[in-house]
Amino acid sequence: MPYVVTQSCCSDASCVIACPVNCIHPAPGEPGFAEAEMLYVDAAACVDCGACTTACPVDAIKPHTKLTDAELPFVELNQLYFAEQPHADRTPLALIPSVRRPAREARVAIVGAGPAGLYAADELLKHAGVTVDVFDRLPTPYGLARAGVAPDHQHTKKVADLFAAIEGQPGFTYRLNVEVGADIGHDELAERYDGVIYAVGASADRALGIDGEDLVGSISATDVVGWYNGHPDHQDAPVDLGTERVVIVGNGNVALDVARILTADPETLVATDIASLPLATLRGSKVHEVVVLGRRGPAQAAFTMPELIGLAGLSDVDVVVDTGGEPIVADSAKTRLLAELAGRTPTPGRRRIVLRFCTAPVRILGTDHVEGIEVTRTRLVEIDGRLEAQACGEPEVVPAGMVLRSVGYRGTEVPGLPFDDVTGTVPNTAGRVRPGTYVAGWIKRGPNGFIGTNKSCSEETVSSLLDDLDAGALTAQGTRADLDAWIAAAVPDVVDRTGWQAIDADERRRGAAIGRRRVKLLEVDEMVRVARAARVGGTAHGRRRLFSRV
């Protein structure tokens, strides 16, 4: 039975190297890899060895026989890829780039312990004589893999095991709870390290720029995501679920994540790592319907096919497709599934997610609180080769107590680095800002792609850094001991790997006590206290047990 790639695939291509017959595509370097929504197994070539499952960090590959009913559409999706892209000229084995030997030892600072930062660290540590110090402004690493990925996507969160293996390698040092640009400056880092890689992500949100956006009840999906995922910056997000209908503007994967969580049966989330207050809020929620507004048509929907299949397979929530009466031209996997969903009959009384297309927001309505949103129908016009939405028809009011904008994330300026205000990224060439300063991940290429997309992105950046090292363009001043002393003086509450492991263990222990995967610590001070306790001898829990025995 062939193996099949399923929903949680994050496109990191670890399976490609593991496969003995090179039947997983598109592989890095092949056309379409950078844009691929997932990778696919060629059933005709798969020899059923299972090697890919061991390599996959998120349990995305399964034998055909182990698929659930909801996952069966992935069989066709994998096959369809090869029907459209035969890859006839592939080599018998995947091409593995050789590891180069740098001209000399090097010390690299990585700012940001999200996927891009950790993939960059992993790539650097493959090279003899290279050490990395990974900084993050929070005492906890993993960026959006911890604070973005939806709690009902626990398979995806398993990527944390891969990150834990990366951080356990010799030459890796964590310097968490250090905000570069606030606690320490770029010049101070640049002077002490051969290279500084910024992998700071894109944490801000984009605004709609329409009237009513500042009303109470109009917030960003970024806020809601950070709130339910326990990000310390978003715990005060004013999420009021005392309304029957929520409208989400934008139909990317983030919008689908939020729509799923707001319509989920809270009891199905108990065993996850959702933060405690959101879980309690969801238990008291009145939300019955979430309307996801796409300004363009079904064929242009920003959500990906794996996520749509996941949505279509929900057993306790109806998915309704509303095109305003326009027929769906079912000429792709995505439009065929949307057409099938459009034909389903909703079950009265069940919570529902409405995927509404060709509808653009005009203004958010209400006096002191959101009461609805005025929308207009759109038609598509081609502008510079892209189909854009243009308003047409009469405005219509959709009553709603909360309006969430989910129209993309946005990078913010990094002190000491150039910044492109239009794209919200740091201008770079193959990750190089200038010799000694580099970028990777969302701050490099914009807020798009999956966790694994950052792997090849970071590899490219590391390659640029090593080119500069070999060319003699990089220098670091001072010894390792000087560096340690400087950081300890500059940021007394720096959290190292032991500290992070103590936080991780503390959260898991709190969770295990009440049947949950983990109960996240929500305040930085609390995290630092737990980390500090580990530094001065054992975990707080271990000491409590010791004292109680005494």
Ligand X SMILES: Cc1cc2nc3c(=O)[nH]c(=O)nc-3n(C[C@H](O)[C@H](O)[C@H](O)COP(=O)(O)OP(=O)(O)OC[C@H]3O[C@@H](n4cnc5c(N)ncnc54)[C@H](O)[C@@H]3O)c2cc1C
Ligand Y SMILES: NC(=O)c1ccc[n+]([C@@H]2O[C@H](COP(=O)([O-])OP(=O)(O)OC[C@H]3O[C@@H](n4cnc5c(N)ncnc54)[C@H](OP(=O)(O)O)[C@@H]3O)[C@@H](O)[C@H]2O)c1
Residues at the interface with ligand SF4 (CB under 6 A): 3, 5, 9-15, 18-19, 21, 23-24, 39, 41, 46-52, 55-56, 58, 60-61, 452
Strand runs labelled E in 267-370: 289-293, 318-322, 352-356, 359-365
Burial class (CB in 10 A: 0-12, 13-18, 19+), 349: exposed
Q: Which of 219, 213, 208, 273 is nearest to 241 (CA)?
A: 219
The partner in contact with residue 304, picked from ligand X, ligand Y, ligand SF4, none with C-beta cut-offs of 5 to 8 angstroms by kind, is ligand Y
Nearest approach in angstroms of CB 30 to ligand SF4 is 13
**Would you count residue 436 as binding ligand X (CB under 6 A)?**
no
Q: Does 303 bind ligand X (CB under 6 A)?
A: no
SS3 label, residue 433: strand
Give the interface with ligand Y as residue ranges (CB under 6 A): 208, 249-255, 257, 294-296, 300, 302, 304, 307, 360-361, 389, 406-409, 447-450
Among 28, 139, 181, 217, binds ligand X (CB under 6 A): 181
Give the one entry of ligand SF4, ligand Y, ligand X, none that residue 197 binds, where binding means its C-beta sits below a cut-off of 5 to 8 angstroms depending on kind: none
Q: How far is the CB of 168 from ligand Y (least distance, A)?
A: 26
What are the two backbone dihedrals, phi and then psi, of residue 136, each rounded to the nearest 5 degrees?
Answer: -145, 150
**How many residues belong to the chain?**
550
Comparing CB distances to ligand SF4, the nearer of 46 and 246 is 46
For the record, the structure tokens of 478 come out as: 């001072």
Task: Kindly tell me which residue out of 18, 23, 196, 200 binds ligand X, with binding defined by CB under 6 A.
Answer: 200
Q: How far is the CB of 172 from ligand X (least distance, A)?
A: 16
Measured between alpha carbons, how far is 303 from 290 in angstroms, rounded to an integer? 16
The entry of ligand X, ligand Y, ligand SF4, none that residue 296 binds, CB within 5 to 8 Å by partner kind: ligand Y
- Please report how close the Cβ of residue 60 comes to ligand SF4 at its closest, in angstroms: 4
Q: How many residues sit close enough to ligand X to count as binding (CB under 6 A)?
A: 36
Q: Give one word for 112, left, alpha or beta, with left for phi > 0 and alpha for psi -120 to 50.
A: left
The percent helix, strand, coil of the chain (3-state, each to 5) is: 35, 20, 45
The sign of the CA dihedral 440, 140, 146, 251 is negative
Residue 12 binding result from ligand Y, ligand X, ligand SF4, none, given CB thresholds of 5 to 8 Å by partner type: ligand SF4
* Shortest Cβ 269–ligand X spacing (Å): 15
The footprint of ligand X on residues 449-468 (CB under 6 A) is 449-451, 453-454
Q: How far apart are the first and last CA of the chain?
A: 59
The partner in contact with residue 370, picked from ligand SF4, ligand Y, ligand X, none with C-beta cut-offs of 5 to 8 angstroms by kind, is none
Q: Are 361 and 249 a contacting pair, CB within 8 Å?
A: yes
Q: Exposed, middle or buried: residue 317 (CB in 10 Å: 0-12, 13-18, 19+)? A: middle
- Cβ 540 to ligand X shortest distance, Å: 24
Tell me how far the alpha carbon of residue 368 is from its chain's centroid. Answer: 34
What CA–CA distance (Å, rounded) separates 137 from 134? 10
Out of ligand Y, ligand X, ligand SF4, none, what residue 151 binds, judged by CB under 5 to 8 A for its kind, is none
Report the b/e string of 221-242 with b at 16+ CB within 10 A: bbbbbbbbbbbbebeebebebe
The interface partner of residue 366, options being ligand SF4, ligand Y, ligand X, none and the CB cut-off 5 to 8 Å by kind, is: none
Give the nearer residue to ligand Y in terms of CB position, either 13 or 533.
13
Residue 112 binding: pick among ligand SF4, ligand X, ligand Y, none (C-beta 5-8 Å cut-off by kind): ligand X
In whole angstroms, the minimum distance from the beta carbon of 296 to ligand Y comes to: 4
**Backbone φ and ψ of 374, nearest 5°:** -90, 130
> In angstroms, rounded to a whole number, what is the distance separating the alpha carbons of residues 531 and 392?
57
Site string for ligand X, 111-150 (x = CB under 6 A): xxxxxxx-----------------xxxx----xxx--xx-
- Select the residue interacting with ligand X from 156, 173, 359, 378 (CB under 6 A): 156
Among ligand Y, ligand X, ligand SF4, none, residue 442 binds (CB under 5-8 Å by kind): ligand X
Residue 254 contacts residue 305 (beta carbons within 8 Å): no
Q: Residue numbers of the site for ligand X (CB under 6 A)?
A: 10, 111-117, 135-138, 143-145, 148-149, 153, 156, 179-181, 199-201, 225, 254, 257, 409, 441-442, 449-451, 453-454
